[in-house]
Each structure stands twice: as structure tokens, then as C-alpha cells.
């Protein structure tokens, strides 16, 4: 998959993209990441990419001319790529959105800065707007990193085990069950017995129930969005009783 990232600060990506899963995915040629400095398309000697807003107010706005030229240049080389603006007024990045975007041949990620980009860029070029949540970042670079990471994990071959992606939190609409490793006893806290039993069916049931428990406690809104089995409903009744008894 092809990622083109349009930014005023390409140096921000050198660390996150040179480590771990994203680095390995690039080495395997599963993904291709290109960084484009928007200032390179500015026509004045100072490479000006921002200006004060019409109507007054604090801050600066990214100018349309260099950004439009940058988008058109990159889009010309990748005509099937989707132009995505990282913006606090975009739709929220979720596992489902990442799955949807992973099916595209490529993404052109436009990183906003300052007070934002000239609205005409969105009108003329944007196919989608993506937000990480209801908060404001200094720029869209961190959001772009999150988008690339979330999508890369879904590309077959990018993880050491495809089971990892399949069982990630939100892959089935629920939060993931708790994880444990050696030692079996840590400061008096022991690993749950089912995980030590060697009984695969018992382990499966424990993990499913604890996934439901964590979702029920931390993100009950997610339960309205998944199809629950009869077993799931039985587990939820048990969880409700157990949590009530524990109060």
C-alpha cells in the first residue's frame, strides 16, 4: 500500500517510521511511505506556506497555492489514491475505518497545521477527513502516524502472526481480554487458573468472558454495536452478578 504524507515538518516522521512494525513492513515492501515537504511547492524565496486569516483572529492558516500544487503533483503520480485531511472535524479513526482505508490502493495524507488549512483545499481536493478524537493537536503529523500504523497492522504479512491482528481490541467490536506472562506469581498476584490449565476450550471461554467484562466496564457503548451470542449473554449475566457482589 502506498502512503504519501504531505507535511510542513517531514522530520517528525523519521523516528516512528524507522522502528518496529512499520519499518519491517517497508522492508518487506508491503507498504511504501513517501514524505513531501509542502514548502517545496511554494514559489517565493522564503517558501511561505501560511498567512494570516481573512476576517482577523489569532494564528495563521495554511496557504492554498503550495498545498494545491503539492496535492496535484502527488495525485498525478498516484491517481487512485484517496486524499485524506487530518482534521479535528473529520470522522473519528476507528478499527472499522482503518479496515475500510486499508482496502484502498493508496492514501495521500494532508497534515494540517496552525489554525488549519484554507477551506478551499478541502472543497477542491479532499475525499475524506479523519480525526483521532475530540481534542486538538499541534498538527496533523501525529494523526497521520496513527493512521499509517493502524492500517499497516491490517496488511497481511506486516505482523509476526496474523493471529495478532485478528485478536486485537476492536477486531470483533469488543475490547481485548487481559494478557499475562511469566512469572505465574508476581508480588502475590497470580495468573488466572484457566490460563494455566492447558484446556483450550476453558481458555477460550475465559478470554471471551473477560473481553466482555472489560468492554462492559470500560466501554459499554460498544456492546450495542456487536452481535452477541447466547453464550455471550450468559457471560454478561454472570459478569453483572459478579461485579454487583464485588461492590
Write out the chain in H/E/C secondary structure. Answer: CEEEEEECCHHHHCCHHHCHHHHHHHHCCCCEEEEEEHHHHCCCCCCCCEECCCCCCCCCEECHHHHHHHHHHHHHHCCCCEEEEEEEEEEECCHHHHHHHHCCCEEEEEECECCCECHHHHHHHCCEEEECCCCCCCECHHHHHHHHHHHHCCCCCCCCCHHHHHCCCCCCCCCCCCCCCCCCEECCEECCHHHHCCCHHHHHHHHHHHHHHHHHHHCHHHHHHCCCCHHHHHHHHHHHHHHHHHC
Instruction: Choose, from 16, 53, 64, 88, the residue flagged as catalytic.
Output: 88
Instruction: Choose, from 168, 172, 176, 232, the residue flagged as catalytic.
Output: 168
51 is catalytic: no
210 is catalytic: no
153 is catalytic: yes
- 8 A C-beta contact, residue 197 and residue 160: no
Instruction: Choose, from 115, 128, 129, 149, the residue flagged as catalytic.
Output: 115
The torsion region of residue 72 among left (phi > 0), alpha (psi -120 to 50) and beta comes to alpha
Instruction: Choose, from 153, 207, 210, 213, the residue flagged as catalytic.
Output: 153
119 is catalytic: no
Q: Cite the active site residues.
A: 88, 115, 153, 168
Amino acid at each position: 500500500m502506498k502512503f504519501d504524507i504531505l507535511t510542513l515538518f517531514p522530520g517528525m516522521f523519521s523516528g516512528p517510521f524507522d522502528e518496529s512494525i512499520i519499518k519491517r513492513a517497508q522492508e518487506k515492501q508491503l507498504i511504501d511511505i513517501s514524505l513531501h515537504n509542502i514548502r517545496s511547492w511554494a514559489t517565493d524565496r522564503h517558501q511561505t506556506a501560511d498567512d494570516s486569516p481573512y476576517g482577523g483572529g489569532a494564528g495563521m492558516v495554511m496557504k492554498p497555492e503550495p498545498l494545491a500544487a503539492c496535492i496535484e503533483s502527488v495525485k498525478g503520480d498516484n491517481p487512485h489514491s484517496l486524499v485524506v485531511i487530518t482534521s479535528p472535524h473529520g470522522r473519528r479513526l476507528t478499527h472499522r475505518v482503518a479496515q475500510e482505508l486499508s482496502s484502498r490502493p493508496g492514501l495521500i495524507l494532508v497534515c494540517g497545521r496552525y489554525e488549519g488549512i484554507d477551506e478551499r483545499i478541502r472543497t477542491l481536493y479532499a475525499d475524506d477527513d479523519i480525526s483521532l478524537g475530540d481534542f486538538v493537536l499541534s498538527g496533523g503529523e501525529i494523526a497521520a502516524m496513527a493512521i499509517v500504523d493502524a492500517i499497516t497492522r491490517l496488511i497481511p504479512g506486516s505482523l509476526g502472526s496474523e493471529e495478532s491482528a485478528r485478536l486485537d481490541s476492536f477486531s470483533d467490536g469488543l475490547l481485548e481480554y487481559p494478557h499475562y506472562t511469566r512469572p505465574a506469581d508476581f508480588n502475590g498476584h497470580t495468573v488466572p487458573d484457566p490460563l494455566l490449565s492447558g484446556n483450550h476450550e476453558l481458555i477460550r471461554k475465559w478470554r471471551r468472558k473477560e473481553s466482555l467484562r472489560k468492554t462492559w466496564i470500560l466501554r459499554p457503548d460498544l456492546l450495542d454495536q456487536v452481535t452477541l451470542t447466547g453464550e455471550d449473554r450468559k457471560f454478561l449475566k454472570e459478569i453483572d452478578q459478579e461485579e454487583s457482589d464485588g461492590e
